[in-house]
Structure 1
Amino acid sequence: MCTRVLWNDNDIAVLAGRSMDWPESTEPLLVAFPRGHARDGGLMAGQAVVAENPLRWTSTYASLVTTVYGIGSIDGLNERGLAAHGLYLKTTELGPRKPELPGLHTGLWIQYLLDQAATVSEALALMKDIQLVMVSAHGFDATIHVAVEDADGDSAILEFADGELVVHHGREFTLMTNDPTYDEQLTLLAAQDFSHPSRDMPLPGNVNAVDRFQRAAYYSALLPKPVDERQAVASVMAIMRNVSVPFGAPYAEFGVYNTEYRSVCDLTNRRYFFELTTSPSLIWVGLDGLDLAEGAPVTAVDPYDESLAGNVTQSFAARNIGF
């Protein structure tokens, strides 16, 4: 499920928020990866899932990510101010495997972009001459589409349809949810002009992807000019809370699930804000306060640790992460 909102036209910071909606805990960890971390895009939980010609690389940039099921990253930003977010898209179709192309399993798609790209344009260039390979975890296929944005406010949405990469690239692509495809989402959005919202404008109130997309557009257009980073982050987080799915919503049979967490990436100041829906406390991390030098250990915090609140940068501790 999930929703992503980018705010790239205020005078304070480029900010991107996302919500994670899922039928169970994704077992998230907040993980800091230093530069120079070697990866194998064909391994998942120590098992080869890309048997022939897996993509291998060593990270150019350090990153701070939220992991999913311990097999890869689903959200985060790197030290150059590039952020990436993976959202569910049931219609994802990667096509048959072409072993002449280096294969990257979908659980590491986000991490690959954060490791090797400083800008959206660089992230898009990385998608040439490689092939994504579908994997499953906990009985769910990793059918995702990805939003990327950078510190200059550039943005892109990446989807796969019939084995082909479809890209929407431009600062104007600030919103994203789930199915239908992004082309269809934009068509639905065009049917209602949210650029001049008013209190008399009818607003969809359900929790399906289409309604969340339109509410995100409406409230994004209403955001007041922030006076500082604190207010700017609070504004984006307010939208993410508005498009979240509350506990007990009886929509599971329709493929819509409760929100597990929300995050906001501040690409200008390189800070990451994270809020579990089961916790009253917002936590945040400053990349400048982490040891991200090549050779430094991988460190992490568990957001389900109930002792955490506020700035948790100093709470990161060495941890073995399996990718």
Structure 2
Amino acid sequence: MCTRVLWNTNDLAVLTGRSMDWPESTQPLIVGFPSGRDRDGSRPTGIVADPNPLRWTSRYASLVTTVYGLGTVDGLNEAGLAGHGLYLNETDFGPRDPAKPGVQAGLWLQYLLDQADTVAEALRLMDEIQPVKVSAHGRDANLHVALEDAGGDSAIIEFAQGRAVVHHGRQFTLMTNDPTYDEQLNLLSLQDFSHPSREMPLPGNVNPVDRFQRAAYYSALLPTPGSQREAIASVMAIMRNVSVPFGAPYGDFGVYNTEYRTVTDLTNRMYFFELTTSPNVVWVDMDRLKLDDTPVAVDPYDQSLIGDITDRFAPREMAF
């Protein structure tokens, strides 16, 4: 499940919020990866065997949240590109074309953060590769990806019948889950949320369509921020509003509880993280993060973490 909201219309900072909704813990780690790291698009070993795996050496350092220790689902790089992998049941990467290097879906976003400094460059790289479907913990990694950069550019990338469907432009600020992005935009056009009022009826369910439209409504209400603190709080407030509370019945709603929320400040290269089972918001200043040759990480389930955790990172071996 999940929701993504981009705020690129204020004069203070380019900010993005995302929520992670899933039926169990994704075992997240917040990881700093140094540049110069060699990767293989078919690894971690045992996830997928591929006839032509994409291999690369990262150009940029990155700060990401991992999923099951097998890939990246959220984060930014030192050049000011950020990305978010969300679930889309209708994803269809198509049959494997061995003429193109393949990258397992859990490393798709990490590859773009490793190699691109802007949305435009990331889209260019997409022409050269093929994401490959994988499964973990009994669930398929049916992902679509949202990207944004420090200049405020944005793109949504989905795969249908083996072909990439790209929505590229600053206006594409919202994303949830099914239906496809074209259909979400069509449904949004039926209700004008650009001029919200207290009389306007607002969709209140936790399904992806209602969350998409509610995110549009509250994004249109965002006040001019007086400080970075106010701007971060504004985006986090929207992410809390579009989150799924504990106890939502999976079978009836087809959605899952929110495990965590993040806000990415691309202008100042800061990353804010809120675990829904913890009262603490934590954040990382990427410019102060010490990245040498080894990845460093923190476990957000550590209840002692609070506030600025930049100095709490410790070396950690990662499978990718």
Q: TM-score, normalised by structure 1?
A: 0.98
CA distance in 1, matches of 2:208, 2:127: 29
Q: For residues 104-119 of structure 1, what are the structure 2 equivalents within 5 Å? A: 104-119=103-118
Give 1:242's aligned residue: 241
Could you say what secondary structure the match of 1:110 adopts?
helix
Structure 2: which 5+ runs fail to align?
A: none
- Report the 3-state secondary structure (helix = DSSP H, G, I; strand = E; otherwise coil) of the residue aligned with 1:43: coil
> Counterpart in 2 of 1:6?
6
CA deviation map 1:284-308 (0-9, x unaligned): 0000111235xx2110000000110
Distance 1:245 1:309 in 2: 23
Counterpart for residue 314 of structure 1? 311
Matches within 5 A, 1:254-269: 254-269=253-268
Bigger mean CA deviation after superposition, 139-148 or 250-259: 250-259
Shift of the alpha carbon at 1:48? 5.8
Q: What SS does structure 1 have at the residue aligned with 2:91?
A: coil
| Distance of 1:5 and 1:123 partners within structure 2 | 19
Letter in 2 for 1:233: I
Cα 1:263–1:252 change in 2 (3 A) is: farther
- Whether the 8 Å contact between 1:34 and 1:291 is mirrored in structure 2 is no
Conservation of the 8 A alpha-carbon contact between 1:50 and 1:103: no
Please list, as runs of the form range in 1=range in 2, the aligned pairs for 1:66-215 lying within 5 A after superposition: 66-215=65-214
Instruction: State yes or no: 1:297 paired with 2:294.
Output: yes
1:61 and 1:276 map into 2 onto residues whose CA distance is: 27
TM-score by length of structure 2 reads 0.99
State percent identity of aligned pairs. Answer: 72
Q: Distance in 1 between matches of 2:264 and 2:129?
A: 27
Deviation at 1:248, TM superposition (A): 1.1
**Unpaired runs of 5+ in structure 1?**
none
Partner SS for 1:212: helix
Contact 1:84 1:147 in 2 (8 A): yes
Give the C-alpha shift of residue 129 in structure 1: 2.1
- Bigger Cα displacement from structure 2, 108-117 vs 253-262: 253-262
Deviation at 1:313, TM superposition (A): 0.3
Aligned to 2:33: 33
> How far does residue 255 in structure 1 lie from its aligned partner after superposition?
2.0
2:303 & 2:295 partners in 1: Cα distance?
Answer: 22
Whole-angstrom CA distance in 1 between matches of 2:129 and 2:209: 31
Q: C-alpha separation between the residues in 2 aligned to 1:111 and 1:132? A: 12
1:282 aligns with 2:281: yes
Residue 228 of structure 2 corresponds to: 229
Letter in 2 for 1:156: A
Counting matched residue pairs gives 320
Name the CA distance, whole Å, in 1 between partners of 2:24 and 2:6: 26
CA shift, 1:15, in A, is 0.1
Q: 2 CA distance for matches of 1:317 and 1:163?
A: 40
Is the partner of 1:179 in helix, strand or coil? coil
Q: Residue 264 of structure 2: SS of its match in structure 1?
A: strand
Is residue 47–residue 134 contact of structure 2 (8 Å, CA) maintained in 1?
Answer: no
Q: Deviations over 1:12-68 (max 9, x none)?
A: 100000000000000000000001011000112x22613211000000000000000
Shift of 1:126: 0.8
| Cα separation, 2, equivalents of 1:221 and 1:128 | 34
Q: Is the 8 A contact 1:23 1:252 kept in 2?
A: no
- Tell me the CA shift for residue 226 of structure 1: 0.1
Distance in 2 between residues matched to 1:140 and 1:258, nearest whole Å: 16
- 1:248 and 1:87 mapped to 2: Cα distance? 21
One-letter amino acid matched to 1:254: F
Q: Partners in 1 of 2:47 and 2:211 — Cα distance?
A: 37
